[in-house]
Structure 1
Amino acid sequence: MLFAPTAWADNGTDNSTDSAANDTSQSQNQQTKSADKQPTETLTIAQITPVVTASSGFHMQVVVANTTTTDAPSGTLDVSINALFTFASRTDMQSWAENGTGIPTPNPLGSVHVPAIAAGQSATVSLDVQSDNQTLTQLRSWGPKPLRLSYTAGDTHTDLHSFLTRSSDGLQSAQTPAMNLTVAMPLTANDWQVNNTAVKHLIEETDSSDDGGTGSADGSAQSESKPESQSDAQSGSNQSKSTQGSDANTSSDATAAQSSSTSSSNLLSLSEPSIAQAKTVEQAVAKHPKLQVVADPVYVQESGSTAAIAGIMQPADFDITAYAAINDASAYTNAGVSDAQWTAKNAQTIYAVATKTASNPQTYAWQGSDDWSMDALAKARAQGYSTVIATASFDNAQTDTVHTGTYTVNTSAGDITVLKEQSELSTLAHGYATSKSAAAETSDAGRLSRLIAQSAFYQMEQPYTTRNLLMTFTRSSSAEWINQVMSALEQSPWLNLTDLQTMATADPYTVSDSVNQNAADQDTSATRSILDRLAASRSGITRLASSILKNGVTSDDIASLDPQALARRDADSTANHSNDPKQWLSGILAAHDSMALRALTGTAPSTSHERMADTAQQMTDTLLNSISITPSESVSVFSESAQMPVTVSNALPYAVKVQVNSITDSMQIVTSRTNTVSIPAHSEAQVAFTIRVSTSGSATARVSLADRQGNAFGGTQNTAITSVLRISDASGFIIIGFAALLGVVGLWRQFNRKKDPDE
């Protein structure tokens, strides 16, 4: 007995369109394209059965929106397919998705009554088709079928094209070998926060345990954060010795291995939303063992992640492609990121410490914000990465059928394997429509339907050819979206989900010494701006070391700073430390360089990267502002010369030696220009400037600080000087007496001179 399909519509209108919003929220989070580039559609697929089996039936939920300024009358939504149609090419599928190609759909799945919809409002309707529906039973072959949604209300008629994909379950068709598909995702985060209280304790060399509160860089309070290792920063402390190639980095990696277990007193941590998202993503990952997780070891270290992984990526998701595009290694070194920080060996070290294991997982260099160039591939290979993950832009050549996404490229540093994602599948998995005209792909459900249909077509176009395709998720894919996609793929018998290692060892599609990439130049201005800011903040720290601290640390000393110094820092040693500030400076530089690494991750520069650069500069400003001029009262001068005392305080845990400069805004009231003063740690010292006046009046002295090279730093203080000139010495009385004598002589001559006869 056949049952008619069950269909129903929600009563009334849906002012908030919650049904659609829940399903499309992931797309909104993932897409970086502006909303004005996305078409506004009348029909949106909110839910759909991605894989139809013999027992699944077919279920669909559609949001009907009235985007006009007038009320829409009640109408009907008709859903139909072509049960006998087989797509012949990818072009046909794309044309259908874009509401083109006049393919008839004579097989109805059902109709739904749509209530009247007020202007600017929407209604959500559902279609539930039982597995024994006559149209579903007419499906004699598996694969994607054209699915049409037709909405009619009064004189309005709207079509939306999607896909219904039937599996081979319950069909008598011949079984063909499954196509290999590898699904990978990066497990990382870029929403890092800096604990301002920890920075304060680091600068003052005090014990963080005496302060219960922790402030983040954005001013929020963090109730809980895990220790964050500084190994990624410490391994790069020897900036001047960073070298090219994995062999040259061996000693630096060994140093990083020894220091990777250190703590920075919660200096850097993930934001609470990032930690919450990480937990949900890892729960989703645990449900899908075939999902290939490539983890950022720094992220694992901070989050305490226990997710099963297929490999690890470069530490802190460092953007190798932008590094190569900028092609200025010294800019990165000056900013605080040395090559030693992001080697494959250091990534394994950080991961081993974070997980407390001796394992050395496979390393993969994940593509950053730019394309893989030959220079980028060569640098990745030199850093120890034998395999990289690439987007579809890696190879622009169009082929008649899809092929294995494995390439071997001969670089100057050796051969490297490139795993290129399949364009259409990854575009959909990333939360984008395959084109602006693919109206059904504006929602997650619509994209999922197309993704499954596309994968089935790829297997059907060459069913007996061995191929291994790669599909990737993004760094920000949600747990819900991962669950939806992986569950659908696992229900697709035409796919064989493989691992990254299998794909990497597959016969490469090509072996060459060139890269076919986008011809357009990459815009690196945002990254360059961040590099310049980081270089400025690091330069401030090195200037403090060499030209402000009393026991100056030279550039050669800075280059040889022990990256394990932070590991040996003991908060209880603050009262007994020596006068050698090298160990303290090592911790300061390690903190800065750790921030710098997180400001240069593989995502395009964002507010998170800006925040890291800002916080690095704030730390430098705090250091330099720890040496300050104490505001003084105005000075009154009653003679030709006087003394103006200036007090300089030093809040740092080490003595400093600086210049104090003074200049007035008057030519008649001036001060001596420069004094040099040494101030002990956590102390004050006073210097005196000589004031010289030539007349009564007032002036303002601007007092500032400079390092021993004469470069100004810190704030300035203005001191008011008032001059009231009085007779206060013998020279004054002599002048007055001489003036009086001249007056007497003048009067005598006036009364005793001889008159002219003519008078």
Structure 2
Amino acid sequence: MMALLMMIMMVLDVHTHTAAADDDTVTTDPTDGVTLTIDAMTPIITTTSGFSATLTIANHTDAALDDGDVDILTNPDYNFVSRTDVQEWADADAHIDTPLALAHVDVTSVPAQGSVSAHVRVDAHDGALAALTTWGPRPLRILYNAQGASATLNTYITRAQDGVDGVRTPSIGMSVVMPLTSHDWKVDTKARRRLISSAARDDTARSIATLDEAHTKALHDKDQLATNYPHLQVVVDPAVLDALGTPHLTALMQPARFDITTYARMRDADAYADAGVSERAWSADSALTRLRRTLGDTSATAPTVAWQGADSWTIDALDAARAQGYDTVIATDDFDVTDDATAETLVYRTPTGHGDVTVLAAQPTLTALANARPSSAHANAEQTDAGRIARFLAQSAFYQMEQPYEERTLLVCFGDDVTPGEVSALMDTLNGADWLDMKTLDDLAQHEPLVSSDLMPQLINANVGVGGAHIDAVRETLEQLGASRTDLMRLASSILARPAGASGQRPDDTDADDPVSPSVSASASAAVSTDADTANGANGAGADRTDLSETAYARRLLDAHDTLALFALQGDATLTTAMRDAAHGLADAALGEITLIPSGNVNVLSESASMPVTVSNKLPFPIAVRVSSRTDSIEIVTARVTDVHVPAHSETQASISIRVTTSGTTMAREQLFDRDNKPFGAVQQTSITSSLQLSDKSGLAIVIIAAALGLLGLWRQFHRKKDPDE
């Protein structure tokens, strides 16, 4: 009896101590007190894994902490009963006993405003690990104690099915998708210079947008992950194909990851076309064309899927995607059309005006954790990759244990800014998750839809895409892109001189000799999918030409602009600003190659004179422009318009006539105009000073009139009748 009482007292003591730790010890604010973080940890326990952890104890106070210790505790018999239960543990709101001590380690003194690391290692045959006799997620508490200071973290470990008894329910499927794209594009200023100043065919419009060495390497590293992890599904942006060469891909997304969802929200296809982005620019056909060009294989093919943009997959967005050849789309978030009380295969099929579309929706919690986003602001253990991975695996195991016990597949989507290291860390741990069955995107798409397709339009309209606050910013971007493209169109149609005998073909007309060159006018396609400069030549140019024709040159400038415009409409705010400004800069730089050089101050000594001005043309083709000159004076005036023709890479001097009626000074303002009488370039000023001489005809006339008036005055003075008193 005494032995039994002593055992009861020991159990009560352990539970009382643990409860006290649950109730009284909280993670302190990182700016005040002591914090714990998980640098590395074994998230899955198998018969051979053992357990290890590396922790950091940070002291945010101005006084050193005494020697302390870390205890790692769990409860091998506790089963999470709901998603709320799981989340409350992460947020330190759940009071769960953790009586089993997995590990204990002493910690040295922590200096003021400093930190120390603690390393824990438990052998696979340790008795504490042997107590985990059933599979599934378990609560894990990490507790630090020192004299006058403490901190705690709530996280998880998951016992794998390997080596434990129990009923095996079907594994849960998981498809992990990584997009291979980038929002770090920049303008290659050297390429821009070559595109403007040279007509050489080997300078392509696509070269204006580039990735730096670091971002290119990151793409290559991600691409190589497909060889290390065969189950990793890779969806490639056609815009990065040149950087990758021969990519490992599961499917292609829309070129430049164009934001189809915002496009549908805008409902203004003409504004996009005027900005330089037609529907063809981001179509599935354009994606395949780019793949074939990169691989040098005209028969190469790959599945195409549309990736979600900054907005939501509304019915309009799904219809727009389907119209351009995408019968499958990936919803990375905001597609909550059903009750998510249990983990289910989020596959939907919905009718649109252009055919049915399959929507593959990502599992929200797992996708957030995979993209370095904690499940909540209070989940302190999830502030590090190791903590998030532990939660990811525990959450997926909990989903597998949820009813209904039937075949299900969850979609997890990485973001485009995830690092190769973050992908590797998660994929490595998934190899030990024997409750998961890794699936392909095609496997996922073959699932029966979760909801009848007849109900989908109503459910989508009621639950998806009620936002749209960013529309004003997109509209402003479209207007600015439209303005810069208009400037390049003016250069092509009203500034470049038409060759003798030219048909008047505008540079935005489709070249019928080029099977892949679309129109780049109001339905312009960006050079991400096609390049006008691959044409066999416009205006009768032969295939052996080394330089572009004038028409093809102008089209290449438009293609370069449209390449930038397509990236500007990707949906990333920073990239939008950079590419929008770059498109404006391209137009300014092209027009800036034509400059007006004034003659400086002009002195006029006669009634008529001429004022020289020089027009400089650094473009590779001749130009035909007009110089307009105006003065503020009615006594000193200049000719209003003077036509000037300037050869390529040359200067031409023109004369502006001056008419003077009196001496004085005025300011003449000269500006370049295109042939449609629209100004461009900077206004130049010339000071005109007139000093008329008597030898001048007008001066002589003035002297004669003055003499005549004087003689008339004298005659009147001698012949007038005087008054009597005078």
TM-score by length of 1: 0.82
Matched-pair contact (CA < 8 Å) for 2:199–2:548: no
In structure 2, relative to structure 1, the CA distance for the partners of 1:732 and 1:117 (3 Å cut) is: same
- Give the 5 Å matches for 1:107-506: 107-207=100-200, 263-264=204-205, 266-307=207-248, 309-357=249-297, 358-462=299-403, 464-506=405-447
Task: Check if 1:727 corresponds to 2:690.
Answer: no
1:597 alignment partner in structure 2: 566
Q: Is the 8 A contact 1:428 1:447 kept in 2?
A: yes
- Cα distance in 2 for partners of 1:206, 1:559 equals 19
**Cα deviations by residue, 1:210-245 (Å, 9 ceiling, x for unpaired):** xxxxxxxxxxxxxxxxx9xxxxxxxxxxxxxxxxxx
2:645 is aligned to: 678
Rounded Cα–Cα distance in structure 2 between residues aligned with 1:107 and 1:429: 30
Counterpart check, 1:588 vs 2:557:
yes
Partner of 1:249: none
Matched, 1:523 2:476: no
Q: Which residue of the partner structure matches residue 669 of structure 2?
A: 702
Give 3-state SS (helix, strand or coil) of 2:340's partner. coil
Q: 1:461 to 1:691 in 2, by over 3 A?
A: same
Distance change >3 Å, CA 439–CA 41, structure 1 → 2: farther
Partner Cα separation in structure 2 for residue 593 and residue 53 of structure 1? 55
Match of 1:539 in 2: 486
Q: Go from structure 1 to structure 2 and tell me whether the alpha carbon gap of 1:536 and 1:733 turns closer, same or farther (over 3 Å shift).
A: closer
2:88 to 83, 95, 115: 95
Compute the displacement of 1:152 (Å): 2.1
Q: Shift in Å at residue 114 of structure 1?
A: 2.7
- Equivalent residue, structure 2, for 1:54: 47
Please identify, of 142-151 and 668-677, the stretch whose mean Cα deviation from structure 2 is larger. Answer: 668-677
**747 and 522 in structure 1: CA distance in 2 versus 1, 3 angstrom threshold:** closer
Mark the CA change 1:38 to 1:206 in structure 2 (over 3 Å): closer, same or farther.
farther
CA 1:41–1:725: 2 relative to 1, 3 Å: farther
| 1:239 corresponds to | none
Letter in 2 for 1:122: S
Post-superposition Cα deviations, 1:254-273, rounded to whole Å, max 9, x if no partner, equal xxxxxxxxx55844432211
* Aligned length in residues: 669
Alpha-carbon offset, residue 404 of structure 1: 0.7
Q: Would the alpha carbon gap of residues 146 and 320 (structure 1) be closer, same or farther in structure 2, given more than 3 Å must change?
A: same
Q: What are the equivalent positions in structure 2 for 1:620-699 lying under 5 Å apart?
A: 620-699=587-666
Shift of 1:458: 0.5
The one-letter code matched in structure 2 to 1:103 is I
Unpaired runs of at least 5, structure 2: 1-28, 518-530
1:757 Cα deviation from its structure 2 partner: 6.2
SS in 2 for 1:536: helix
CA, structure 1 residues 535+40, in 2 after alignment: closer, same or farther (shift >3 Å)?
farther
In the alignment, is the contact (CA less than 8 A) between 1:71 and 1:119 conserved in 2? Answer: yes
What secondary structure does 2:359 align onto?
strand
Which runs of 5 or more structure 1 residues have no equivalent in the other structure? 1-35, 210-226, 228-262
Task: Decide whether aligned partners of structure 1 residues 741 and 530 sit closer, same or farther in structure 2, where only a CA change above 3 A counts.
Answer: closer
Identity of aligned residues (%): 40
How has the CA–CA distance of structure 1 residues 303 and 609 changed in structure 2, closer, same or farther, with 3 Å as cutoff?
farther
SS in 1 for 2:334: helix
The equivalent residue for 2:68 is: 75
Aligned partner letter, 1:545: A
TM-aligned CA deviation for residue 734 of structure 1: 4.5
Residues 434-457 of structure 1, C-alpha deviations (whole Å, 9 max, x = no match): 111111111111100000000111
Contact 2:183 / 2:572 at 8 angstroms: preserved in 1?
Answer: no
Aligned to 2:585: 618
- 1: CA distance, partners of 2:655 / 2:543: 32
What SS does structure 1 have at the residue aligned with 2:241? helix
Instruction: Decide which moves more: 568-577 or 494-503.
Output: 568-577
Supply the AA of the counterpart residue of 1:125: A
1:726-756, Cα deviation, whole Å (9 max, x unpaired): 2123453343244345546656877898986
Contact persistence 1:201–1:208 (CA under 8 A):
no
- Out of 684, 706, 710, the position equivalent to 1:739 is 706
For residue 99 of structure 1, report the CA deviation from its aligned partner. 0.4
Cα deviation per residue 1:264-289 (whole Å; 9 max; x = unaligned)?
58444322111111122223332100
**Shift in Å, 1:206:** 4.1
TM-score, scaled to structure 2: 0.86
Residue 119 of structure 1: CA displacement? Answer: 3.3
Separation of aligned partners in 2, 1:296 and 1:549 = 36
Superposition deviation, residue 690 in structure 1:
2.5
Q: Which moved more, 1:63-72 or 1:157-166?
A: 63-72
| SS, match of residue 273 in structure 1 | helix
- What is the CA-CA distance between 1:106 and the residue it aligns to? 0.4
- Contact 1:178-1:459 within 8 A present in 2 as well: yes
Q: Is the 8 A contact 2:507 2:555 kept in 1?
A: no
Q: Secondary structure at the match of 1:510?
A: coil
The range that moved more, 679-688 or 323-332, is 679-688
- Of 196-205 and 487-496, more deviation after overlay is shown by 196-205
| 2:652 aligned with 1:712 | no
Moved more, 627-636 or 415-424: 627-636
Conserved in 2, the CA contact under 8 Å of 1:75 and 1:153? yes
Asked if 2 retains the 8 angstrom alpha-carbon contact of 1:545 and 1:553, the reply is no
Separation (CA, whole Å) in 2 of partners of 1:583 and 1:697: 51
Q: Contact (CA 8 Å) 2:35, 2:57: kept in 1 or not?
A: yes
1-structure distance, mates of 2:33, 2:250: 40
Cα pair distance change 1:372/1:539, threshold 3 Å: same
Tell me which residue corresponds to 1:550. 497
Structure 1 500/578 Cα, relative in aligned 2: closer, same or farther at 3 Å?
closer
**Residue pair 1:668, 1:694 contacting (<8 A) in 2 also:** yes
Which residue type is aligned with residue 559 of structure 2?
A
* Change in CA separation of 1:38 and 1:721 when aligned onto 2, cut-off 3 Å: farther
Distance 1:371 1:38 in 2: 38
Distance 2:639 2:304 in 1: 63
Tell me, in whole angstroms, the C-alpha distance in 1 between the residues paired with 2:368 and 2:549.
Answer: 56
- 1:562-581 matches, cutoff 5 A: 563=517, 565-568=532-535, 581=550
| Deviation, structure 1 residue 627 | 2.2
CA distance in 1, matches of 2:546, 2:704: 66
Q: 1:99 to 1:507 in 2, by over 3 A?
A: same
